[in-house]
Amino acid sequence: MYTRWNDYTVYLLNRYGTKVYRIGIDGGFTCPHRSSKHSGGCIYCDALGSSSVYLRTHESNFTRKSSFEKDIDNKIPHPFDDSMATRLSAIDEQILKGKAYLDTRFPSTKRSIYFQAYTNTFDTVEHLKMLYDRALSSGEYVELIISTRPDCITHDVVDLLLSYKKKVMSVWVELGLQSGNEESLKYLNRGHTVEDYKRAVSLLKGGGIEVSTHIILGIPGETDQHILRTASLIREVESDAVKIHNLHVVAGTKLYEAYKRGEVEVPDMADHLYNTILFLTHIPKDIVIQRLVSDTPKHRLAAPRDFPDKGYFLQSLEKSMKEQHVYQGEWIK
């Protein structure tokens, strides 16, 4: 049990009285930032998006070294075609797989629906409703969780999400921010601003939707001051949760090209421990920490290759914070 930060597992246990696991879904979405020839996508993004472990079988259909530019010019490689019928039946299939996976490993637990891959609000509201409805009609879920970009939150999307508060105990939106510093957003080619993020959080929280913010620690060029600025933004907007990622260089990305040219220094475990403690001690105690390390499948990860497993990192973090006599929120003035 981790005691130095507001651990997600403990938070879920306290809130729902039992362990809760997510069923991750790829709803056949794309990303406006990848599919536009002009924006080019984030420099660390590969063509595969993020997906649950039981959905990764489709990775073998794609070539890991496919050219980034080609992905944008053509269509993003995707396991599904565009028809709604196909997308809906793919959701059924994924939920069946997800349930089977969880039933074997974690029986008697509660479940949430997690629209995970790419930008899950990038479609018409009618389509979004059909996709979310379909997933939620497959059983009892405690949360609906939607992952998206800050510039893909509109009033209509918020209204739709609010309508699900009757069906589940909580509706969450996970927003990719990565950094509270404009120059880092430009470096990462995020294609949105800090202001876009603030606006999105305000719209969502104004309606009672809970917000989790994704950040990356170890972005090239960022110093302690940059990390503190990101922490300060998280405090200012009152994000309910954060997902912390250590910088990962994935093969086939623009970041990988820069890494090969020797332009990118990738944080090792000691760096990530330092950055994480700096960040955690400057965000409020009640912010839920949903993730502390990145999770890229080994065969796609170019660097860091020698980072220890998640369990070892978490134990080391707990130990370091204990040795330093600090808790989450310790250094907020």
Q: How far is CA 215 from CA 18, 121, 123, 292, in A?
A: 28, 19, 24, 10
Smallest distance, Å, CB 116 to ligand SF4?
11
CA angle 57, 58, 63 (to 5 degrees): 120
State the DSSP H helix or E strand holding residue 291, giving kind and residue range, or none if neither: strand 288-291
Using the rule CB under 6 A, give the single segment among 28-36, 89-97, 100-108, 153-161 that binds ligand SF4: 28-36
φ, ψ of residue 242 to 5 degrees: the values are -135, 150
User: Which pair of structure tokens corresponds to residue 107?
Assistant: 């029986």
Smallest distance, Å, CB 185 to ligand SF4?
11
| Contact pattern for ligand SF4 over residues 144 through 173, marking x by CB under 6 A | -----x------------------------
**Ramachandran area for residue 330 (φ above 0: left; ψ -120 to 50: alpha; else beta):** alpha
How far is 21 from 24, CA to CA, in rounded Å? 9
Smallest distance, Å, CB 122 to ligand SF4?
9
Decide whether 5 or 44 has the Cβ nearer to ligand SF4.
Answer: 44
Among 45, 88, 203, 227, binds ligand SF4 (CB under 6 A): 45
Among 24, 28, 49, 252, binds ligand SF4 (CB under 6 A): 49
Using the rule CB under 6 A, give the single segment among 42-50, 159-167, 218-226, 267-275 that binds ligand SF4: 42-50
Decide whether 42 or 113 has the Cβ nearer to ligand SF4.
Answer: 42
Among 6, 26, 33, 240, binds ligand SF4 (CB under 6 A): 33
**Contact status: 245 vs ligand SF4 (CB under 6 A):** no
Using the rule CB under 6 A, give the single segment among 39-47, 89-97, 196-204, 313-321 that binds ligand SF4: 39-47
Distance of CA 309 to the CA centre of its chain: 19
Q: How far is CA 313 from CA 2, 3, 271, 316, 319, in A?
A: 12, 15, 12, 5, 10
**Contact status: 134 vs ligand SF4 (CB under 6 A):** no
Per CB under 6 A, contacts with ligand SF4 among 87-126 are: 118-119
Instruction: In the chain, count H helices and then E strands.
Output: 12, 9
| Size of residue set near ligand SF4 by CB under 6 A | 11
Among 20, 23, 31, 242, binds ligand SF4 (CB under 6 A): 31
Q: How far is CA 56 from CA 33, 42, 97, 103, 161, in A?
A: 23, 21, 12, 18, 27
Using the rule CB under 6 A, give the single segment among 18-26, 37-45, 267-275, 299-307 that binds ligand SF4: 37-45
**Contact status: 176 vs ligand SF4 (CB under 6 A):** yes
User: Which pair of structure tokens corresponds to residue 187?
Assistant: 């470096």
State the DSSP H helix or E strand holding residue 196, giving kind and residue range, or none if neither: helix 194-206
Instruction: Tell me which residues touch ligand SF4 (CB under 6 A).
Output: 31, 33-34, 41-42, 45, 49, 118-119, 149, 176
